[in-house]
Amino acid sequence: MRTPLRPLARILHARQQGENPDTIERENLRLRHEAMRDKSRARAEFRLLVLGLAFFAAFTTIGARMGLLAATEPVEPRASAPGAEIIAQRADIVDRNGRILATNITTHALYANPKVMVDPKGVAQKLAEIFPDMKAKDLERRFTDGRSFLWVRKVLSPEQMQRVHEIGDPGLLFGPREMRLYPNGTLAAHVLGGTSFGAEGVHSAEVIGTAGIEKALDARLRDPAQGDKPLTLSLDLSVQATIEEVLYAGMTMLNAKGAAAILMDVRTGEIVALTSLPTFDPNDRPNPLVDKNAEPGDSPLFNRAVQGVYELGSTFKIFAVAQALELGLVAPETLVDANAPMQWGKHRIKEFEGKNYGPLLSVTDVIAKSSNVGTAHIALMIGPLRQQAFLKSLGFFEATPVELIEAPGARPLIPRKWPEIVTITTSYGHGMSASPLHLAAAYAAIGNGGVMVKPTLLKREGPTTGVRVMSEKTAHEAVIMLRRVVTEGTASLGEVPGYEVAGKTGTADKPMRTGGYYKDKVVNTFASVFPASNPQYVLIVTLDEPIDTSGSEPRRTAGWTAVPVAAEIIRRVAPIMGLRPKLEPVATDAVTAASN
Amino acid sequence: MRPVLYVLTFLAIIALGFWAYRENYATQAALKHVEGLQRQIADLREGLAVQRAEWAYLNRPDRLRELATINFDRLGLLPMLPGQFGTPGQIAYPTPDLPQIDMPVDIQGTQPQPESDL
């Protein structure tokens, strides 16, 4: 109800009294203003309160949220579910047909927390029963010396894990592990190498390569982006297994200390099989030798095919001859001086067992009969500089580029100076050492028509290009000469019907550590390409200290040791690789010939 | 008019809040489900890896060679040798199937008659 500013009764009354009625109006106006002021103040106060409350609530919320964020573990906001988990920590290794050479399986590691262990003594005893190589006393001491964490076992088999579970002590704990498994055991052990654990944690451990291709391509194998793509090697599991079987039998029969074989595709440089004996199991890699006097070759870890740097003997002769053909110095039928022994300064060059194939011998026969003197004369025609350049182009001055961690360390041993006597000895493979893999690459160049290919352990798609080191004609003539070695020369035991083996034998005396050569220790090598009419593969077989005792007196030449082994390898392996034997041309029927 | 608008807005906010709440929980449930599936896939893959490893282990050349030797009586398996390649000429032509006989064949008089009947 609104109070009038000039209430009539009071105005009239004031007029009667002679007062100014305006005062009443002013008074009423003042009162009304006061009321209005009080009302608006109350309203403003209320608004301020609400605003204050709102601010308080807002700041409290923000503060609480900040506190919560600071106090909790950070978690990514999730808008979608994670993709497929990475299960393979390390990529598989498979052979060229996709058969597994190395894979991973999950297993467990055993660790202990002695602080919560109920019965350390009993646990130690029971663990020693499960793992015979551990001693109960040692374990007990380690369980009771006050530490709160210790590794007991890096990997467990499921059976062992079950037995540890049955102990039932809360102080024994398991951590998941990925373990590298080589299902084929010793097969291709030197190629695969092996792995071990790197940084280890309770929840996982990294698997790192320790040797072979596992170490050389460690980064590729551990790359998480390629974890599900297996690494495809050029090896063929069946061929590798067959070669290992035959080579092992040959090594045993010939009482050799070691052996190595390489089978390589001449056009692509893909290594189909690479083996070195004695071998080892990469699942349980032996420790390297620590004995200072031990030769590296005594350890099964030593890869003779790649690391074994030997004088390769007469297998080198074909390089001197091929170069002379390439330079146009000789033709296959040219007669060269082969009158043994040959005197060069104070050195005397002799033939095997002091024979003399001379006075003159055709170049083809120099190779077929393996004449040192003939080769020496051819090498002298070429000269040291050109000889070095040619051997360099064949890769004999560098370590092989194959994908093995051992390869870069195995550099060929090259004479520091190159006088003419070195030219002579190098021409028949003495004084200079290289690995069988070097020899395989160089023979592949002869086999494929004169192009140098890079030996590789990885499967290649399509043809590869390389540097041409000799003309196709020279390579072809060289293969024909190598074929003559098998048909009528020193490698007659190497003939495999249908496969036209062409190759060259090499017998080199082993050098003594103290200098000089052993009289009765040799390294025998047979380097071959087959089939001669269209070479597909090169096979190198090396035997370390073999003796053939089947005859009346022990024989140590490659023709009696490495050659039959290589022939057996070709006989067994070529059909597996799908090489059809070439039928020898049958003599034309006399009656049919007459009627035509 | 205005109060109706207020009520409608209020109801809409409540409805939207309810919808958002349900969507949130549905999403979380879906994520949990997918996570479970992923774990299952990982477990199965692990199993597969073990199976593959075992397959490779059981098919290792050493073992197959031994098995072939032990079971030689039954299987007669020998290493592959060059002599086992054949030529296309050694394969016999398949014997032709008999043509369908849809015409009646007269077989009267084909049997030798006893002499007494002549």
Q: How far apart are CA A258 and CA A247, in angstroms?
A: 10
- Nearest-Cα distance to chain A for B100, in Å, is 42
pLDDT at A527 over 70: yes
Predicted local confidence at residue A475, as pLDDT: 92
Predicted local confidence at residue B111, as pLDDT: 61
Check if the beta carbon of residue A566 is closer than 8 Å to that of residue A250.
no
Q: Which helix (H) or strand (E) holds A423?
A: helix A420-427
SS3 of residue A261 by DSSP? strand
Q: How far apart are CA A317 and CA A331, in angstroms?
A: 15
SS3 of residue B103 by DSSP? coil
Q: Encoding tokens for residue A418?
A: 């190159």
Model confidence at A414, in pLDDT bands (50, 70, 90)?
confident
Chosen from B62, B63, B78 to mutate, greatest number of chain A CBs within 10 A: B62
Question: Vertex A130, ends A128 and A131: CA angle to 5°?
Answer: 65
Q: Which helix (H) or strand (E) holds A102?
A: strand A100-112
Arithmetic mean of pLDDT, A107-112:
88
> pTM surpassing 0.95?
no
- Nearest-Cα distance to chain A for B85, in Å, is 7
Q: Which of A83, A185, A497 sits opposite B60 (nearest CB)?
A: A185
Residues of A in contact with B56 (CB under 8 A): 99-100, 103, 183-184
Q: How far apart are CA A446 and CA A528, in angstroms?
A: 10
B88 touches chain A (CB under 8 A): no
Q: How far apart are CA A461 and CA A442, in angstroms?
A: 22
> Does the model's ipTM exceed the 0.85 cut?
no
Catalytic positions of A are 314
Residues counted in chain B: 118
Q: Encoding tokens for residue A423?
A: 């030219």
Indicate the residue type of A324: A
Cβ of A88 within 8 Å of Cβ of B52? The answer is no
Please name which of A221, A95, A459 lies closest in space to residue B61, comparing C-alpha atoms.
A95
pLDDT at B108 over 60: yes
Chosen from A181, A568, A582 to mutate, greatest number of chain B CBs within 10 A: A181
pLDDT at A237 over 90: yes
Arithmetic mean of pLDDT, A398-420:
88
Indicate the residue type of A327: L
> Based on C-alpha coordinates, what's the Rg of chain B?
41
Predicted local confidence at residue A21, as pLDDT: 85
Q: Which of B31, B46, B55 sits opposite A81 (nearest CB)?
A: B31
| Helices and strands, counts by H and E, chain B | 3, 0
- Nearest-Cα distance to chain B for A580, in Å, is 7
Q: How far apart are CA B38 and CA A410, in angstroms?
A: 47
Backbone phi and psi for residue A343, each to the nearest 5 degrees, phi listed first: -100, 125
pLDDT at B73 over 70: yes
- Nearest-Cα distance to chain B for A418, in Å, is 47
Q: Encoding tokens for residue B32?
A: 């949990």
Check if the beta carbon of residue A562 is closer than 8 Å to that of residue A541.
yes
Question: Vertex A253, ends A251 and A255: CA angle to 5°?
Answer: 65
Q: Which of B38, B54, B65 sits opposite A82 (nearest CB)?
A: B38
Q: Which of A105, A245, A497 sits opposite B82 (nearest CB)?
A: A497
Our measurement of the distance from residue B40's CA atom to the centroid of its chain's CA atoms, rounded to an integer in Å, reads: 21
Please, what is the average pLDDT of chain A? 86
Cβ of B62 within 8 Å of Cβ of A99? The answer is no
Chosen from B57, B63, B66, B84 to mutate, greatest number of chain A CBs within 10 A: B57
CB pairs under 8 A between A and B: 83
Give the strand pairing for A342-344 and A347-349. antiparallel
Q: How far apart are CA A144 and CA A171, in angstroms?
A: 12
Predicted local confidence at residue A585, as pLDDT: 52
For domain A238-285+295-576, the CATH superfamily is DD-peptidase/beta-lactamase superfamily (3.40.710.10)
Beta bridge partners of A263: A273, A539
Predicted local confidence at residue A547, as pLDDT: 86
Predicted local confidence at residue A570, as pLDDT: 93
B67 touches chain A (CB under 8 A): no
Domain-wise residue ranges, chain A: 1-27, 93-232, 238-285+295-576
* Higher pLDDT among residues B115 and A18, named by residue: A18
Q: Read off the pLDDT of residues A3-56 as tens digits, 9 standing for 90 and up.
A: 788 888 888 998 899 888 888 889 899 999 999 999 999 999 999 999 999 999
Backbone phi and psi for residue A496, each to the nearest 5 degrees, phi listed first: -120, 115
Beta bridge partners of A275: A261
- Nearest-Cα distance to chain A for B25, in Å, is 13
Predicted local confidence at residue A595, as pLDDT: 44
Q: Read off the pLDDT of residues A333-351 as tens digits, 9 standing for 90 and up.
A: 888 888 878 888 888 888 8
Cβ of A100 within 8 Å of Cβ of B52? The answer is yes
Report whether the peptide linkage leading into residue A341 is cis, meaning its omega lies within 30 degrees of zero.
yes
Chosen from A103, A107, A239 to mutate, greatest number of chain B CBs within 10 A: A103
Model confidence at B110, in pLDDT bands (50, 70, 90)?
low
Arithmetic mean of pLDDT, A322-327:
92
B42 touches chain A (CB under 8 A): yes
Residues of A in contact with B57 (CB under 8 A): 181, 183
A106 touches chain B (CB under 8 A): yes
Q: Read off the pLDDT of residues A242-287 as tens digits, 9 standing for 90 and up.
A: 999 999 999 999 889 899 999 999 999 999 999 998 899 998 888 8
Model confidence at A99, in pLDDT bands (50, 70, 90)?
very high
Q: Encoding tokens for residue B66?
A: 């031994």
* DSSP structure class, residue A384: H
Model confidence at B116, in pLDDT bands (50, 70, 90)?
low
Predicted local confidence at residue B115, as pLDDT: 59
Residues of B in contact with A242 (CB under 8 A): 61, 79
Cβ of B56 within 8 Å of Cβ of A498? The answer is no
- Residue of chain A nearest B29, judged by CA positions: A81
Check if the beta carbon of residue A563 is closer than 8 Å to that of residue A487.
no
For domain A93-232, the CATH superfamily is Penicillin-binding protein 2a (Domain 2) (3.90.1310.10)
Q: How far apart are CA A581 and CA A326, in angstroms?
A: 31
Q: Read off the pLDDT of residues A118-145 as tens digits, 9 standing for 90 and up.
A: 888 888 888 888 888 888 888 888 888 8
Q: Which of B41, B65, B85 sits opposite A581 (nearest CB)?
A: B85
* Higher pLDDT among residues A459 and B96, named by residue: A459
Predicted local confidence at residue A242, as pLDDT: 94
Residues of A in contact with B34 (CB under 8 A): 81
Q: Read off the pLDDT of residues A198-208 as tens digits, 9 standing for 90 and up.
A: 887 777 788 88
Predicted local confidence at residue A88, as pLDDT: 54
Q: Which helix (H) or strand (E) holds B32?
A: helix B2-58
- Nearest-Cα distance to chain B for A572, in Å, is 6
* Higher pLDDT among residues A79 and A520, named by residue: A520
B93 touches chain A (CB under 8 A): no
Q: How crowded is residue A190: how many other Cβ atoms within 10 Å of its Cβ?
A: 27
Q: Which helix (H) or strand (E) holds A50?
A: helix A21-71
Please name which of A559, A560, A505, A569 lies closest in space to residue A539, comparing C-alpha atoms.
A569
pLDDT at A68 over 80: yes
Q: Read off the pLDDT of residues A552-567 as tens digits, 9 standing for 90 and up.
A: 888 888 888 889 999 9
Predicted local confidence at residue A235, as pLDDT: 93
Model confidence at A593, in pLDDT bands (50, 70, 90)?
very low
pLDDT at A596 over 50: no
Arithmetic mean of pLDDT, A218-229:
84
